[in-house]
Chains A and B, each alone.
Chain A
Amino acid sequence: MIRFWVPLGVILLWALIALLAPVLPLSPNAIDLPHILTSGSPDEWFGYDDLGRPVFDRLLVGARTSFLVAVAVVGISLVVGSLLGAVGAYVGGWIDLGLVRVIDVFLAFPGILLAIALAGVMGPGIDNVVMALSVVSWVGYARLARAQVLSIKERDHVHAAVAVGTPPPQIIARHLLPLISAPLIVEASFGMASVVIGEAGLSFLGLGVQPPAASWGSMIRDGARYMLVAPHMVVAPGMALMGVVLAMNVLGDRLRDWLDVKHQPRTRRSGIP
């Protein structure tokens, strides 16, 4: 149980901080010149950054950035991806064929490379980060939903629904999507982790939120320059990031065991087992 409640607690705490950040008495951009680069003290546990801003306050605001991006990206790509995948698999024919080709092309970009290029071309900003990461993430859900629908679309209840004249959109929404939700939920929980890393990665490269807004990724980038004098600037956001990502990965593993989703190795072409 500890492997369920602890990560769940971490994630809930992260979400709570993210939602409450605007009403908390935080001053992430307040500059306190005498404290530049000072490390932790009893009244300011996490110390101050290179501009004399409190690292703790910036951590909390950064939690909001990563939470908003993660929820938006996973939300968008889960809806778009699973709908496209389910429709493709159910309808079949050239629509499905086209979908498979498109998925193959998107999968030819390793990791978040496409998001890096897109965010770079679109320019920085939180909405561009969401867009860039969504363009990369929808494919995973589409592939999964397609494979799952293919495996259940010949079941009796689907034939029965067709026989009584249920329109296809309703078959997909009522008779197919609910049955494939378990693997999609598991995929989404791992997806959250990779979006959190993706957002921080883009911000680390300077392609995410713009200063003075805080993101864990940009905090690590700023801190890397002062590593010898103020390692806390890198350690603090990194620990936060790792804590959240680790919690999601552990929770994803738990969910996979509970929902009894067979581990899907990320193979993508049909020719090879």
Chain B
Amino acid sequence: MFVPFLIARGLAAFAVVLGVVCLVFFLIHLVPGDPVEVMLGEAAHPADKIALQQALGLDQPLHVQFGRYMASLSRFDLGTSLYSKRPIRDLLLERLPATVELGVTALLVALLLAIPLGILAAVNKGTAWDTGAMGIALFGASIPNFWMGPMLILAGALWLGWFPVSGRNGVASLILPALTLGTALAAILSRMIRSTLLEVLNEDFMRTARGKGLPDRIVIVRHGLRNALLPVLTLLGLQLGALLSGAVITETVFSWPGIGSLVVEAIHRRDYPVVQATVLCISVSYVALNVLTDLAYAWIDPRVRLGSRP
């Protein structure tokens, strides 16, 4: 049963990716404004404009451009950067490790903060602990990355001097960006963990576990949390999107040399092929991450892959 599920899920994801490719292409090409004029400035010589148009293939009708674009994509050729004149694929591969490193660390930070906070709130439901923990979570969700980042720089780098202000140079430089990116996710996750754990706490097996005399800690962690984390896993896949788009801003704040700051740099340099390819790359990784979480979920929970849901 697992294989058909896998195939169906993969096909659906492929369709979405195709849609994403079309949407990105047409949005960038149909948006009002002439990229050539933007790149060269309004005062540019007409002959230069025509030359650049031809070089970019923009003088061709839209469907021809689209065909060429799809053809090169199918060869995993993402085009060439207008700014650095290098293949975009190389640019992306160069930047990818930094983003993965930041994303994974931020995810760990988020889980380390969210799991205790969620348990604390759920176990002490309705008490001051619950209100306090959820208040912290609400605060965390309301602080945008681009403010959290500068504040952490101010406190951790300028006042305390423990961490570098920006850049990617060793473990110390990873901490502030990961905290910035992780706290927002932690806020959302802790609320989810609280609500799913609350549901599980009322289950019969929890009463049984308590009844047979297990200590509270084991009941909560082994019987409660393990079941509560299951739905959280699916939601985590979706929240990774928040992480990815948050990375665009966080990487810019900290001059972290990842994919996110590449998008922003490319936008400011009017390097449209790079913008297009990077947005595509981020969206495709997001879709892929979602497929992976779905598969992980199906793998862990047989009810999903066997089609009979509780």
Which of chain A's residues have a CB closer than 8 A to the CB of B279?
109, 113-114, 117
User: For the complex, is A112 an interface residue (Cβ under 8 Å from B)?
Assistant: yes
Mark A213-231 against chain B: 1 for CB-CB distance below 8 A, else 0: 0000100110110011001
Which of chain A's residues have a CB closer than 8 A to the CB of B27?
114, 117-118, 121, 135
CB neighbors of B among A240-256 (8 A): 241-242, 245-246, 249-250, 253
User: For the complex, is B99 an interface residue (Cβ under 8 Å from A)?
Assistant: no
The size class of the interface chain A forms with chain B is: 35 or more
| Interface pair A217/B146, CB less than 8 Å apart | yes
User: For the complex, is A212 an interface residue (Cβ under 8 Å from B)?
Assistant: no
Q: How far is B309's CA from A217's CA once the two chains are assembled, in angstroms?
A: 45
Q: How far is B150's CA from A135's CA once the two chains are assembled, in angstroms?
A: 29
| Interface pair A105/B282, CB less than 8 Å apart | no
Q: How far is B242's CA from A111's CA once the two chains are assembled, in angstroms?
A: 5
Contact among B23, B147, B272 for A121, CB-based, below 8 A: B272
Q: How far is B22's CA from A101's CA once the two chains are assembled, in angstroms?
A: 13
| Interface pair A223/B275, CB less than 8 Å apart | no
User: For the complex, is A195 an interface residue (Cβ under 8 Å from B)?
Assistant: no
Which of chain B's residues have a CB closer than 8 A to the CB of A204?
146, 249, 252
CB neighbors of B among A124-164 (8 A): 135
The SS class assigned to the A binding surface is helix
| Interface pair A266/B146, CB less than 8 Å apart | no
User: For the complex, is B244 an interface residue (Cβ under 8 Å from A)?
Assistant: yes
| Interface pair A201/B146, CB less than 8 Å apart | yes
CB neighbors of B among A89-137 (8 A): 101-102, 104-106, 108-114, 116-118, 120-123, 135
Q: Which residues of A pack against B, CB within 8 Å?
A: 101-102, 104-106, 108-114, 116-118, 120-123, 135, 193, 197, 200-201, 204-207, 217, 220-221, 223-224, 227-228, 231, 234-235, 238, 241-242, 245-246, 249-250, 253, 263, 265-269, 271-273
Could you list 28 examples of A-B contacts with CB < 8 Å? A106-B23, A108-B17, A108-B286, A109-B286, A110-B283, A113-B245, A117-B276, A120-B263, A120-B268, A121-B27, A121-B28, A121-B272, A121-B275, A122-B31, A200-B144, A201-B144, A204-B249, A204-B252, A227-B150, A227-B154, A238-B147, A242-B142, A246-B138, A263-B195, A265-B235, A267-B238, A271-B8, A271-B294
